[in-house]
Amino acid sequence: MSKKLRYLEIADVLKKKIKQGEFPQGQALPSQKELSEIFNTSVMTTRGALAELEQEGIITVIHGVGTFVSSPAIHNDTLSLQGFQNEMDRQKMSITNEVIGVKHEIEQRELLDLFGKRSGRFSSLSRLRTIDGKPVIYQCSYVEKQYSSVFDEYQADQSLYQLFSQKTGIMVTQGREIMIPVILPDDIAKTLGFDEPCTAFLSKRVSISLEEKVVLYDEAYLPGPYVIMASRKHGKNNSFKYIINQTGTIDSLDSFNDSDLWEDLI
C-alpha cells in the first residue's frame, strides 16, 4: 500500500482511519495545518492527499469551514430523490414516494451473484414515485438479509440511501448501472396506469461500499414519455442524469439549451 509518494501514503492512512471509524460521518477532520504537523509534511502535500480523498467522494472540503467525512453519497444515486426533488422544485412539480411492499427471505440466484455471495437471503422494498399525483416510476431495491431492518423502518419520501447509511454506518462511494430500453411489462404498466404499450428505461444498479462490497441493488422502470436521460461531457467532466420530460413528447429538446438543468452537476 505505502507508495513512494508522500501524498498517496497520507491519503491511504487517512482512508484507513475513516474506514475504521476513527472519524465518524459528518465529523470534521483536523485542519490542514494540524494534519501537516501530524504527518510532518507541508500544507501543499497534505492538500494533495485530501484532494485524493475528495476525488473519491470520501471527504468534503469546505473553504473557510473545514474538512468533513462525506455524508452518504446520495450523489451516487442517479435516481435519487434528492436529484429529482431539486428538479421538481425547479419545474414546480411535486413528487411523492410511496411504499408498495417489503418482502423478506428472498432466495434468488442472480442476487447472490450480484452481491458476490455463495449463499444467503435478501429483502426487497418496492416503491412507486408519483409526480403531480401521477405514478411514474416503479423501483425495487434489494439488500442482504442482515440489513432488512432498514427496509422495515423506511418511511415514504425518505432517502433510502441516507437511511441505509445512517442505520448501517456503511458509506456508499461507488455505483454502477446499466440501462436497457424495454417495453413496460404488463404488471408494471398496470401499476403505473398505462393502458397502452409503453417504452421505458429498465435501470439496474449496484451500490458499492468503501470496502468494495456490493451493498444495495436497485431495479427501476422509467417510462419514456416522462423520463429521459441526459448527459453532458465537458473535457474530463462527465455527468448524466434522468430528467423529467414535462411535455411528454420526445421532440422536446429543451434540455440542450436549458443550461440551468445542469448547474448542480458540474
Partner DNA sequence: CAGTGGTCTAGACCACACC
Partner DNA sequence: GTGTGGTCTAGACCACTGT
State the residues that interact with DNA by CB under 7 A.
4-7, 29, 31-34, 40-45, 47-48, 50, 61-67
Q: Which does 5 bind (CB under 5 to 8 A by kind): its own copies, DNA, none?
A: DNA
Beta bridge partners of 126: 101, 140
Using the contact rule CB under 8 A, the part of the chain among 24-32, 91-99, 151-159, 253-261 near its own copies is 253-261
Q: Which does 250 bind (CB under 5 to 8 A by kind): DNA, its own copies, none?
A: its own copies
From CA 156, how far away is CA 124, in angstroms rounded? 15
Nearer to its own copies, 10 or 172 (CB): 172
From CA 136, how far away is CA 138, in angstroms rounded? 7
Task: Tell the residue number behind the cell numbers 425495487, with chain if given.
Answer: 140
Residue in 32, 71, 166, 239 binding its own copies, rule: CB under 8 A: 239
Q: Which does 236 bind (CB under 5 to 8 A by kind): its own copies, DNA, none?
A: its own copies
Reported in sequence order, the residue ranges of the chain that DSSP labels E, i.e. its strands, are 59-62, 66-69, 95-106, 122-131, 134-144, 172-183, 199-209, 214-223, 227-234, 237-244
Residue in 104, 231, 247, 248 binding its own copies, rule: CB under 8 A: 231
Reported in sequence order, the residue ranges of 145-224 that DSSP labels E, i.e. its strands, are 172-183, 199-209, 214-223
Residue in 9, 12, 54, 132 binding its own copies, rule: CB under 8 A: 54
Give the DSSP H or E segment for 151: helix 148-153
Nearer to DNA, 44 or 100 (CB): 44
In the bound complex, what is the minimum distance in angstroms from residue 233's beta carbon to DNA?
22
Long-range contact list for 102-111, CB < 8 A, 24+ apart? 102/126, 102/151, 102/152, 102/154, 104/145, 104/148, 105/145, 106/142, 111/142, 111/217
Residue in 157, 199, 213, 247 binding its own copies, rule: CB under 8 A: 199
Nearer to DNA, 29 or 81 (CB): 29
Q: Assess 180 for contact with its own copies (CB under 8 A).
A: yes
Find out whether 106 and 115 touch, Cβ atoms under 8 Å.
no
Residues near 157 by beta carbon (within 8 Å), at least 6 away in sequence: 81, 96, 97
Residue in 110, 187, 196, 263 binding its own copies, rule: CB under 8 A: 110
Residues engaged in binding its own copies (CB under 8 A) = 44, 54-58, 73, 75-76, 78, 110, 113-114, 173-183, 199-202, 204, 206, 224, 228-240, 250-251, 253, 255-257
